[in-house]
Amino acid sequence: MKDSKQLTQKRREFLEQKIKEKAETFEVVILHPIEIDGSEGNRIKLNELEAIACAKIINKINKGFKKLKIVLDCPSVSLVKWADYLKTKIKDLSNLEISCEHKADKNHVSVSAASILAKCVREKEMKALREKYGEGLGSGYTSDPLTKKFLEKNHQKYENDGIFRKTWITWKRLRVNLSQRKLGDF
């Protein structure tokens, strides 16, 4: 099995259709920048937010199964702590067997399939954003030079459009650099 990021977009799209045809059930939750950033003083840790999103999916698909085995790729260093937090967000644990692992997408076809579906949804969301804001938006990843350039050029123009994660180190550095006075300013 390959990490979904190692597959080409064309291959992921092909597999997306196969997965949707064969899967008993599937669900995707989209988290927007404002949810990730949280509101003033209300920010939740990213790992906790991921657990809440996973619980939403589990709660939605956990209907009518006598026994449901859930395998999750754990984003936290602490498997037990993250799994315990996740379980507090699940409505009915009675028929669930939950397993949290690191690199679960390499060890479980179902997790690899979920990763492919999530990546395909992300790409569709990014395509819609590029249609609205232009190709210069890039991939949306902080390591992408196009994305960095778009942020530098458009941070003020689109600051309130909800497309930038303001807790990103890239956003924070940009804001600090803009607020610092340069020698030529005096």
Q: Give the whole-angstrom CA distance, residue 109 versus residue 17.
A: 15
Same domain, 102 and 186: no
Same domain, 171 and 152: yes
For the chain, the domain total comes to 2
Same domain, 44 and 127: yes
pLDDT tens for each residue of 44-56: 889 999 999 999 9
| Residue 183 to residues 165, 171, 173, 180, 186, Cα–Cα distance (Å) | 30, 23, 19, 10, 6
User: Which of 88, 118, 133 marks a domain boundary?
Assistant: 133
Q: Give the whole-angstrom CA distance, residue 171 versus residue 123.
A: 22
Q: pTM for the whole thing?
A: 0.86
Same domain, 71 and 128: yes
CATH of the domain at 19: 3.30.420.10
CATH of the domain at 146: 1.10.10
Instruction: Give me the domain span that covers residue 168.
Output: 135-186
Contact yes or no for 140/129 (Cβ under 8 A)? yes
H-state helical runs in 1-108:
9-22, 33-37, 46-61, 79-88, 104-107
For residue 113, name the pLDDT band (cuts at 50, 70, 90): very high
Same domain, 30 and 96: yes
